[in-house]
Structure 1
Amino acid sequence: MLAVVSAPVLADRLKDLTRVKGVRDNQLVGYGLVVGLDGTGDSGPATSQTYRNMMNRFGITIPEGVNPNTDNVAAVSVHATLPPFAKNGQELDITVSSLGNADSLRGGTLLMTPLKGADNQVYAMAQGSLVVGGFGAQGQDGSRITVNVPSVGRIPNGATIEREVTSPFTEGDTITLNLLRADFTTARRVVETINGYLGEGMAYAHDGTSISVKAPRDPSQRVSFLSILENLEVDPAEEAAKVVINSRTGTIVVGQNVQVSPAAVTHGNLTVTIQENPEVDQPDPFTGGQTVVTPNTQIAVTEDPARMFQFGPATTLNEIVQAVNQVGAAPGDVMAVLEALKQAGALRAELIVI
């Protein structure tokens, strides 16, 4: 089946089309230890060294040459997303992933782990008991079964924010809105909508992505001002003509503005069948002859009837779908036809294969 994408004329809110410049998430990452595992930890050198360092901080010295048993310990990476305007004392969900050869993190507890940003500053501290969705089982004969991924777990509200990220939201005399999809027509319409509501000259576009809007300096007034802006409705521009092909699943999506120049297409399949039927000749009794195998090869060539269909000038999307569906072509055949049309210069659209 050929999927059809049509763009209904619906207005979108600015909050669905844009993001405020400077209001963004920040990624945090850390390295720590998970303890309390039921013999499913790892025995890598990094785990042993980290275990020694932790014991030293608690005033316990492990003699040199003694390798601590770390079957119940696993070295892990911890990552989280710090949302915009996050404040000290708020909590974050964290994800914990094994770095070594730990079989499972089920039942483990993450010890206090600092989470750092790209500037190497600590922004949160993580600790808590893991929730692991995967599990595994192994028999004495070596057979084993694993469901999901037992070496990754989560800790809801497992990190506490210790440092705030400064936001440029309250700085300057303007707020900049960045379109999620760059388009000059959409940028112009956003400017026209804002100026029509707030007054001429309040908004201006820098390019096909960024639109600046004059805003009050007072933080409280700026929040109210942005609340009004993000609920304004704008008619986004129509997307460029595209045909998207998923070669793995056979899915084909044709955009609304796709057109085909005059072209005639024929497509068929050629099948070659080779069948071996060897014949065995037995000699007459008491003649002293030998059994002879005579090869008998049959080759058949079958060509499916190929239908030809023609596209007229400025063919619309509906006509394309009807023509292809009448032929009854399989998704793979439709892909070949579309690629051939593109190479012939008859397909007026961008062909994207994913």
Structure 2
Amino acid sequence: MKSSIDRFVRLLVILTVIAASAALWWPVGAAAARIKEVAAVQGVRSNQLVGYGLVVGLDGTGDQTTQTPFTTQSIQAMLQQMGVTVPAGTNMQLRNVAAVMVTTQLPAFAQPGQPLDVTVSSLGNAKSLRGGTLIATPLKGADGQIYALAQGNVVIGGAGASAGGSKVQINQLSAGRIPQGATVERSVPTPLQQGDVIQLDLNASDFNTAREVARVINGAKGEGTAVAVDGRVVQLRMPANPAQRVAFLADIENLQFDAAAPAAKVVINARTGSVVMNQAVTLNACAVAHGNLSVTISSTPVVSQPGALSGGQTVVSEKTDISIAQQGGSLVQMAAGTRLTDVVKALNALGATPQDLLAILQAMKSAGALNAELEVI
């Protein structure tokens, strides 16, 4: 019995060693992705809507009409439509009204009567939109047609108070949302039921992805169903029966395929200094020297006071001191790295800040040591 247990333990140890070593040499398979995650049906998309309106009922935090004349003009036009005539030359000092822009997204297949969330943003110098109510505002598309109508109470996610020159504010008070504050009045036609061919647009241009998408679709729906036109477009032959097209696209969207590794790319945010790179980034062997140069200029006021009864005047001048400090940068040799962890270790060895990495990565790219595409946003 004991020998059987010993043999079982030895076998378990051998299997554990084989599994651990296989993790080192066995190639990592490509990540599986669904077609709906990398492509979209052409024409099936959302549309931006925008409108100009008024928010009323504010507690004295609205626009200062002397500095925002368009608010006064909007109020006069609204009152005139309601049969109220404001005498010419009337100085309207309204603190409870604010001019706003109303924006929302009209989703694909939206039908009349469907509610939409809207965002309300102050257009003038209103201090806060808290407690305000948006008056009926038509929302238009890029073609100038009205597709929705918005109205409701504005919800603000901040708070603030001011008195005696002091002010306390939490979050943003000049913008808010109206949940289900708009109603769709007109739908947008889609090409889903038009023609016999529909087009899939890939989110990123890649010939391998287009080929794999067409191959998987043809394998599931029959040869000739999908054709990869280029690196971004895949054309589909739709069923003749319109009632079967929804089920056809539902099946295609959930098909899985082996997505190829993305192209090596380093994204640099020049405003914040953020540097993000994907796992395909590699380095060639190179040497980098990094040092900092700082220039400090300080100015100190100096007062020259004349002597008593001298008839002179007091003169104020400035004493300026300029200092320059430069930190020595040693030459750091960076070995070739084939993994993202190697690249991170090599860059950390420089001891550079994210702002310094912007220049270092650009120089490494110019020297041919960085195998990646640089994108500055």
Same fold at TM > 0.5: yes
Alignment of 1:151 onto 2:174:
yes
Give the drift of 1:136: 2.4
Structure 2: distance between partners of 1:272 and 1:11: 50
- Cα deviation per residue 1:67-92 (whole Å; 9 max; x = unaligned)? 23321111211111111100111111
Q: 1:353 to 1:66 in 2, by over 3 A?
A: closer
Within the candidate set 37, 41, 50, 2:74 is matched to 50
Give the drift of 1:109: 0.9
- Cα deviation per residue 1:178-234 (whole Å; 9 max; x = unaligned)? 111110110011111111111111100121111011112433210000000000012
Within the candidate set 97, 102, 109, 1:85 is matched to 109
- Cα deviation per residue 1:308-337 (whole Å; 9 max; x = unaligned)? 42535xx41254445555x46344566555
Structure 2: distance between partners of 1:53 and 1:310: 69
In the alignment, residue 18 of structure 1 is paired with which amino acid?
A: A
For residue 89 of structure 2, what is the aligned residue in structure 1?
65
Contact 2:148 2:185 in 1 (8 A): yes
In the alignment, residue 65 of structure 1 is paired with which amino acid?
A: G
Q: 1:82 to 1:192 in 2, by over 3 A?
A: same
Structure with the larger RCO, 1 or 2 (CA within 8 Å, 6+ apart): 1
Q: 1:336 to 1:137 in 2, by over 3 A?
A: same
Q: 1:130 to 1:243 in 2, by over 3 A?
A: closer
Q: Which runs of 5+ in 1 are unaligned?
A: 1-6, 275-298
Within the candidate set 218, 222, 226, 1:199 is matched to 222
Structure 1: distance between partners of 2:107 and 2:292: 58
Contact 1:178 1:209 in 2 (8 A): yes
For residue 224 of structure 1, what is the aligned residue in structure 2?
247
Number of aligned residue pairs: give it.
319
Match of 1:235, SS?
strand
Q: Which structure is higher in helix share?
A: 2
Within the candidate set 125, 128, 137, 1:101 is matched to 125
For residue 233 of structure 1, what is the aligned residue in structure 2?
256
Alignment of 1:15 onto 2:39:
no
Structure 2: distance between partners of 1:58 and 1:273: 65
Within the candidate set 60, 78, 82, 1:39 is matched to 60
For residue 335 of structure 2, what is the aligned residue in structure 1?
311
Give the drift of 1:13: 0.6
Contact 1:182 1:209 in 2 (8 A): yes
Give the drift of 1:102: 1.4
Structure 2: distance between partners of 1:337 and 1:52: 59
Structure 1: distance between partners of 2:326 and 2:363: 24
Match of 1:153, SS?
strand
Structure 2: distance between partners of 1:68 and 1:272: 55
Q: Which runs of 5+ in 2 are unaligned?
A: 1-27, 297-322
Give the structure-1-normalised TM-score.
Answer: 0.81
For residue 265 of structure 2, what is the aligned residue in structure 1?
242
Structure 1: distance between partners of 2:47 and 2:327: 60
Within the candidate set 210, 232, 236, 1:213 is matched to 236
Structure 2: distance between partners of 1:31 and 1:40: 19
Q: 1:309 to 1:194 in 2, by over 3 A?
A: same
In the alignment, residue 54 of structure 2 is paired with which amino acid?
A: L
- Cα deviation per residue 1:80-115 (whole Å; 9 max; x = unaligned)? 111110011111111111211111111111111111
Alignment of 1:129 onto 2:148:
no
- Cα deviation per residue 1:18-37 (whole Å; 9 max; x = unaligned)? 11100011111111111111
Alignment of 1:24 onto 2:45:
yes
Q: 1:80 to 1:306 in 2, by over 3 A?
A: same
Contact 1:252 1:331 in 2 (8 A): no
Give the drift of 1:338: 3.6
Structure 2: distance between partners of 1:192 and 1:241: 25
Give the drift of 1:62: 1.5
Structure 2: distance between partners of 1:271 and 1:77: 47
In the alignment, residue 101 of structure 1 is paired with which amino acid?
A: N
Structure 1: distance between partners of 2:72 and 2:358: 55
Structure 2: distance between partners of 1:14 and 1:271: 51
Q: 1:32 to 1:273 in 2, by over 3 A?
A: closer
